[in-house]
């Protein structure tokens, strides 16, 4: 019986450790406002910017998966590279459905807070962008 209790206790501790680690891999973010006039330097889209930064690590969604913002199943062609920021002001590009990306911004609805995978985030700095010419 002691062996069984020891086994169960060890596995419960391992599960607790796993859950804590997986929670630390996600961060709470909001959509950035007023970024629609920004274009990435050296790329045509923010999706291309993201793909270049993650080359060899992971790919942009290429199968239907849930959007991190609305949590709805999304076709891969409907994902875009969205500008998001955490509560510390760190800015990232992240795959979000185009519907959510278009919904929030200057003069639009306030962005909800949502969780994203930290490993899917690509750091974004203002120096990565130029203002689009009309």
DSSP the chain: -HHHHHHHHHHHHHHHHHHHHHHHTEEEEEEPSS-TTEEETTSSSHHHHHHHHTTTT--S--S-EE-TTT--EE-GGGEEEEEEEETT--EEEEEEEHHHHHHBSTTSBPPPPEEEEGGG-EE--GGGEEEPP-
Global pTM? 0.79
pLDDT in tens, the chain (134 residues): 565 555 555 555 565 555 445 445 899 999 998 898 899 999 999 999 999 999 989 999 999 999 999 999 999 999 999 999 999 999 999 999 999 999 987 778 899 999 999 999 999 999 999 988 76
44 is a domain residue: yes
- What's the token pair of residue 85? 């920021």
8 is a domain residue: no
40 is a domain residue: yes
Contacting residues for 91 by C-beta, under 8 A, at least 6 apart? 32, 83, 84, 85, 123, 124, 125
9 is a domain residue: no
115 is a domain residue: yes
What is the model's pLDDT at position 56? 86
Number of domains into which the chain is organized: 1
| Domain extent for 79 | 28-131
What is the model's pLDDT at position 53? 96
18 is a domain residue: no
2 is a domain residue: no
104 is a domain residue: yes
């Amino acid at each position: 019986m002691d062996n069984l209790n020891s086994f169960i206790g060890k596995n419960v501790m391992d599960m607790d450790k796993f859950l804590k680690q997986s929670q630390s891999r996600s961060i709470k973010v909001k959509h950035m406002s007023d970024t629609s006039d920004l274009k990435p330097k050296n790329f045509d889209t923010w999706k291309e910017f993201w793909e270049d930064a993650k080359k060899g690590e992971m790919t942009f969604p290429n199968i239907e998966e849930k959007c991190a913002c609305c949590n709805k199943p999304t076709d891969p062609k409907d994902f875009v590279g969205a500008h998001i920021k955490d509560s510390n002001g760190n800015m990232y590009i992240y795959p979000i459905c185009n519907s959510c990306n278009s919904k929030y911004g200057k003069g639009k609805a306030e962005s909800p807070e949502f969780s994203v995978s930290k490993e899917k985030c690509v750091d974004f700095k203002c120096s990565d962008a130029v203002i689009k010419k009309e």
